[in-house]
Amino acid sequence: MSNDRKKILVTGATGYVGGRLVPSLLDAGHDVSVLVRTPSRLAEVPWAGNVTIIEGDLTKPESLRDAVTDIDVIYYLVHSMGDSKEFARTELECAHAMVNAAENAGCERIIYLSGLTDPHQARSNHMDSRHAVGRVFLDSTLNAVVFQAGIVVGSGSTSFEMIRHLTERLPIMITPKFVRNQVQPIGIDDVLHYLTRAATADFPGSRTWDIGGPQAYSYGEMMNRYAKVAGLKKRPMIPVPVFSPWLASHWVGVITPVPSGIAKPLIHSLAVNAVVTERDIDAYIPPPPGGLTPYEETIRRSLADVRADNIVTRWTDDRTFEAEPLPSDPEWAGRKVFVDERSKATSASQEDLFAVIESIGGEHGWYSTPLLWRIRGWLDRAMRGPGLARGRRSRDHVRLGDAVDWWTVEAIERPRLLRLRADMKVSGDAWLELIADKDEDTGAVTYRQRAIFFPRGVAGLAYWYSILPAHGLVFPTMASNIVAAAEQHHPKDK
């Protein structure tokens, strides 16, 4: 393909890699469209006004026909972190649907990001699924570019968060034997370099291409190199033969923000060597100027982003569920619903109050009885929920769809409303609304807080009544402390 301006469709644009690729493609001068199930999730993304947003769903083939019309290049950056046969079957069905639509529309090229594995070792179900999807593209009539990447390291990536939290929180590590396996990490900037240039590179045909950083390490070495860059002491490691990938994933789920369900397929992929076996890509896409980024430099850049609160995308962006909209009050008739409402007048401006509201959760906490919040978070993690460990992408600002501890931002109307939907494991559906209400006639500002719970069955009823005493402690204090923080003109940890 020539270095012309291409018409490009990106799937997975709300995910970790896709959310960073789109601005890179725009900077390269391409016309970019994105296929998303929920366009509102892009409402506050800086590049949203520079792309064509198409509402569609890969599980519904009929929605793909219009999406691929008049498209030259498709980036297929969607994959599930699931490890079951059902996930694998769904992924294959989506891949076939995309190929059929693209072939019928006369698209030229499809680009897919897969993973490195050792062909002589047994792969995990997750990696088998990713390679099967790649095979669907390679067997099509499209020019298929399938990149096989090592673990991707960058601020907010799953791999970086695992390495960071394991290393920082554990002075001595009891580890599985497979921490000695060789893996070849690659920085997110280098991944974007290859992906962006793949739109116009003159590839000889459909095939896989290995991409990885300049050097391979054992996973244990990667953690200790992180420790060195972060100014920590070297972490002694004690391998234990009985520490299986299943057990290791649960251990990661306790120590890091990454839940065990997401950690499991990643750890299974670490149980085999994953190194670059060929550098054929260099003949068609030369490495970035200055060469591939060394692992230590990637860690240094990632930590700088974390400290500067400059995480563009985060692993929590790669979620597949769709939240139902909050039922409006009139529709509650005939349904069992529990509501806890609090309000408090404040001398703070609406903007200062909303600044506190928007920064809630993560390192700022929940402005009341932190021990009770932590206990509830521990219980949720024990039930394989997100708990409080998931944190936030940014310390002070949120976007629609962002994770905030065990909540997801379902609505944001600055400077008035923030609505969070609960992702915790509970027998029912729950929301938390935080409102900076301003009387247009008097200018008076009132903080309003509403917790809403729709129970499912007897278990849901039992849950609500069991936590009522805790609500009596948590919610009044939360309202008072949020108002107090707003009146000091800045968010304050509680």
Is the residue at 395 inside a domain? yes
Q: Is the pLDDT of residue 491 over 70?
A: no
Q: Say whether both 360 and 292 belong to one domain.
A: no
Whole domain around residue 268: which residue ranges?
7-317
Q: Say whether both 295 and 334 belong to one domain.
A: no
Q: Say whether both 432 and 349 belong to one domain.
A: yes
Q: Say whether both 65 and 172 belong to one domain.
A: yes
Is the residue at 110 inside a domain? yes
Q: Say whether both 273 and 419 belong to one domain.
A: no
Q: What pLDDT does 124 receive?
A: 67
Tokens of 19: 């959310």
Half-sphere exposure of 99 (CA within 13 A, CB side): 19
Is the residue at 322 inside a domain? no
Comparing 231 with 119, which gets the higher pLDDT?
Answer: 231
Q: pLDDT tens digits, residue range 332-366?
A: 444 578 999 999 999 999 999 999 999 999 989 99
Q: What pLDDT does 85 receive?
A: 60
d(CA 412, CA 350): 14
Q: Say whether both 58 and 182 belong to one domain.
A: yes
User: Number of structural domains, the chain?
Assistant: 2
Q: Structure pTM?
A: 0.82
Q: pLDDT tens digits, residue range 426-443?
A: 888 899 999 999 999 999
Q: Is the pLDDT of residue 323 over 60?
A: no
Domain final residue, candidates 317, 339, 365: 317
- CATH of residue 33's domain is 3.40.50.720
Share of the chain above pLDDT 90, in %: 59
Q: Say whether both 304 and 346 belong to one domain.
A: no
- Residue whose pair of structure tokens reads 């809403």 in the numeric block: 452
Alpha helices by DSSP H, 337-456:
350-358, 370-382
Contact 357, 316 (CB under 8 A): no
- Please spell the DSSP secondary structure of 223-248, one letter per residue: HHHHHHHTT-----EEE-TT--HHHH
Is the residue at 82 inside a domain? yes
Domain final residue, candidates 275, 294, 317: 317
- Buried (b) or exposed (e) across 87-117, using 16+ Cβ within 10 A? bbebbeebbebbbebbeebebebbbbbbbbb
- CATH of residue 451's domain is 3.30.530.20
Q: Is the pLDDT of residue 320 over 70?
A: no
Domain final residue, candidates 317, 349, 383: 317
Is the residue at 169 inside a domain? yes
